[in-house]
Structure 1
Amino acid sequence: MRALKLSRSKNRRSFLLAGLFGTALATALLFPSLSLTAQARTVVDMSGTPVEIKDTPAFIADLWFAHNEILVMLGAADKIRVTAEKPADRPWLFKIAPVLLKAETGVHAETVNPEDLLARHIDLVIVPQRGQADALRKLGLPTLHAQYTTVPQMLQSIDMTADALSTSHAHDVARAYRQKMDTLTSLLQSRVSRLPASARPRVLHIAALNPLQIDGQNTMIDTWIKTAGGENAATVSGNHRPTTFEQIATWNPDIIILGATAGEVDPSSPLRFLPAFQQRKWARNPQGVFPWDRYGCEELLQLEWAAKLFHPAEFADLDMRQDVRTFYHSFFHYALTEEDITRILAAQPPARTP
């Protein structure tokens, strides 16, 4: 009888709370173990904003292209329910993490439908811009701004993501990645610092050929060019900056790097008359899970590749193929074949299976 009275009292209390404050608040007050606050942690995003994240989020929407491979690296591929990526654009990503084929693909931060994310019970959203994060948070979606433009910022963003995932595996991988990056950048610095300024090639990174776009200063591209012992030939700032052949001719770079998806240089293109092309001092940037030259965690491989391109004699001892194999095994838990490595270094997709 006493139990029955207590049950009726509890039901009446629940009804009153629901009527006064809404069902969700009533549930949180009566059962604090089920409330978001009781299960949440605070994670500070890249804009310095503290964000309340559910402990061990299970449903993630990663709306920044470069960040998806970071989640895969940290062991959260199976938690991605919505992704900015598409198999046609990132075949290596979906090859090493086929679970992503179950996710909603091609969803961008600029055009995402917040109601759809709420309907999917998304409990963590990743975006590249602070304004996007602010807008989604106002609608009740825990959202982290994750973008970076330097290696230290990238390491901070990876640590932030590990904090959000809140798994020992994610933290272990983030620490291992930081250690590898610190070791490599120290090696590069020790050798590059001995070179005179005149030995640093002026490098131009072409992001697209039609329309003609280059990557300037204050970008991740500028960071790896300088860290690997080069100087950015472009005197403008920002990613994908429109330019002209005349401007490129004025810069007259020593080395030209074409982005993996920049397109093909037409045989009649005036670019082919530049000294860098005439002297065969140009290269196509590798592309694996993500374009190495952009903003993904394969930045570790990009730095080594660029250093060997800029200063082949000083870095002849570095085995690029072996280091690609080791990186994929250590951080993506994927065993590359010799053909896989060749194709990644040539910015080619995986070979078609019969």
Structure 2
Amino acid sequence: MRKSIIVIIVFVLLAAISSVAYYVWLSSIPGSIRSGETSKSQETIEVIDALGRTVKIKMPINRVIITGKGSWPIMTVAYMFPNAKKVLYGLSSSLNSTLFRMIDPNLADKIVPVELSVEEISKAKPDVVILKTTMRSLGDQLEELGIHVVYVDLENLESYVRDLRVLGKIFMDERRGEGLARYYSEWVNSIASMAPPSAERPKVLFLYYSVKGGEVAFNVPGSGWLQTFMVEVAGGYPLSKEAPGTGWNTVTFEQIARWAPNIIFIVTYSNKPSPSEVKERLLRDEMWTNIPAIRSGRVYAVPDDCNVAALGSWDAPGSRWILGLLWMAKKIHPSIFQDLDIKEEVERFYTKIYGLSKADAEKVIAQITGDFP
């Protein structure tokens, strides 16, 4: 009985804390924005979102909320638009990292401790809410309240190009949206054009090493996933193309041994263990000795610039997967891409695309984990 009372008290306290934090955040939104005060201009913009729907939004756009499961990649992309810092609110705490605090010094004021409810979003009176395409149920509820909803996907190059143009309209910087779309497209096309023909490609295993309840699992991405696409563009033969599932596929060591990968890229989306720690374990594990990648030492921990779950991992669909592509190409074909200066490109990304000073960019680069450069 006593334990039950303690649990109830803790639950009530947590609910109270979350409620207070939400109203503190709500009160931090400028009064004119919170009250829904509109500009004299009744100009509207039209966007065609990832679901093919035409959405009309009144200008100016002063308040944008990005929320829902899987929203963090959208936030990382939104911050490539300078105007985003002026209009974003109600962000997930998953974005709270050194990199994004540098990008937006006021980030703490925009973060909410728990995912916003439909009612809380409505009270914030957003001009538009941006959701992942998988969040249709939440979007439908918001639209019933008259709130504009735009869906994005950001899962592959094609959707990135489309969604960057959509975000360019929402953040009132279409020119930048077009420029960013070109940036991603041109790098992908440039790397792909230099990669060797299929017969000369090494077998590459992209491995997500996970630990749950003390049980280790080896996972490979689906054949249509971004990681598989990255390996192929970078000039490798992605063994994950042979996996049957569309999501993460759990595979056995025996399957990995049959595949006999020449190169292994490792992610854990965790610091316990980190990709670098897993790499060292595999290199020392006698059971893995006969795998070609282990024998040659071509096992690499994927870089991470945030060290917060998947937020900073360069294979994830956040903004820096393009840096991951360049890094992979250099690791798979060092002679072909010998003139590609990864550190230079990474610094350029942080300064030109995220607007960091050179000094701040160097601080971020210094804390990148994994096999960088």
TM over 0.5: yes
Distance 1:126 1:107, change over 3 A: farther
User: In the alignment, what sits opposite 2:294?
Assistant: 277
C-alpha separation in 2, matches of 1:271 and 1:106: 44
How big is the shift at 1:38?
4.1
User: In the alignment, what sits opposite 2:227?
Assistant: 221
CA contact (8 A) 1:214 1:240 kept: yes
Distance 1:35 1:187, change over 3 A: closer
| 1:133-282 paired onto structure 2 within 5 Å | 133-165=139-171, 167=172, 170-192=173-195, 195-211=196-212, 212=217, 213-234=219-240, 235-236=242-243, 237-259=245-267, 261-262=269-270, 263=273, 264-265=277-278, 267=281, 272-273=288-289, 274-282=291-299
Distance 1:226 1:40, change over 3 A: same
Rg (Cα) greater in structure:
1
Which of 107, 111, 123 pairs up with 1:104?
111
RMSD between aligned alpha carbons?
Answer: 2.8
Which blocks of at least 5 consecutive residues in structure 2 are unaligned?
Answer: 1-36, 307-311
Look up the SS of the partner of 2:79 in the other structure.
Answer: helix
Look up the SS of the partner of 1:86 in the other structure.
Answer: helix
CA contact (8 A) 2:300 2:371 kept: no
What are the Cα deviations for residues 73-105 of structure 1, in whole angstroms up to 9, with x where unaligned?
A: 1120232211234355x4322232222211134
C-alpha separation in 2, matches of 1:188 and 1:269: 34
Which of 123, 131, 152 pairs up with 1:119?
123
Look up the SS of the partner of 2:364 in the other structure.
Answer: helix
Distance 1:208 1:113, change over 3 A: farther
Look up the SS of the partner of 1:323 in the other structure.
Answer: helix
C-alpha separation in 2, matches of 1:336 and 1:239: 38
Look up the SS of the partner of 2:336 in the other structure.
Answer: coil
How big is the shift at 1:310?
0.8
With normalisation by structure 1, the TM-score equals 0.77
User: In the alignment, what sits opposite 2:132?
Assistant: 128
What are the Cα deviations for residues 125-182 of structure 1, in whole angstroms up to 9, with x where unaligned?
A: 22222424344323433222111332122011111111122x2xx2232222233233
CA contact (8 A) 1:288 1:347 kept: no
CA contact (8 A) 2:61 2:170 kept: yes
C-alpha separation in 2, matches of 1:347 and 1:53: 44
Matched, 1:58 2:62: yes
CA contact (8 A) 2:263 2:293 kept: yes
With normalisation by structure 2, the TM-score equals 0.73
Distance 1:46 1:308, change over 3 A: same
Distance 1:346 1:51, change over 3 A: same
User: In the alignment, what sits opposite 2:370?
Assistant: 346
User: In the alignment, what sits opposite 1:286?
Assistant: 303
How big is the shift at 1:276?
1.9
Look up the SS of the partner of 2:155 in the other structure.
Answer: coil
CA contact (8 A) 2:39 2:60 kept: no
How big is the shift at 1:336?
4.4
CA contact (8 A) 1:163 1:171 kept: yes
How big is the shift at 1:271?
7.2
Read off the aligned partner of 2:188 and give its amino acid letter. Answer: T
How big is the shift at 1:340?
3.0
Look up the SS of the partner of 2:207 in the other structure.
Answer: strand
C-alpha separation in 1, matches of 2:40 and 2:322: 37
Q: Work out the percentage of aligned pairs sharing the same amino acid.
A: 21
C-alpha separation in 1, matches of 2:78 and 2:169: 12
C-alpha separation in 2, matches of 1:123 and 1:319: 42
Which blocks of at least 5 consecutive residues in structure 1 are unaligned?
Answer: 1-32, 349-354
C-alpha separation in 2, matches of 1:216 and 1:157: 22
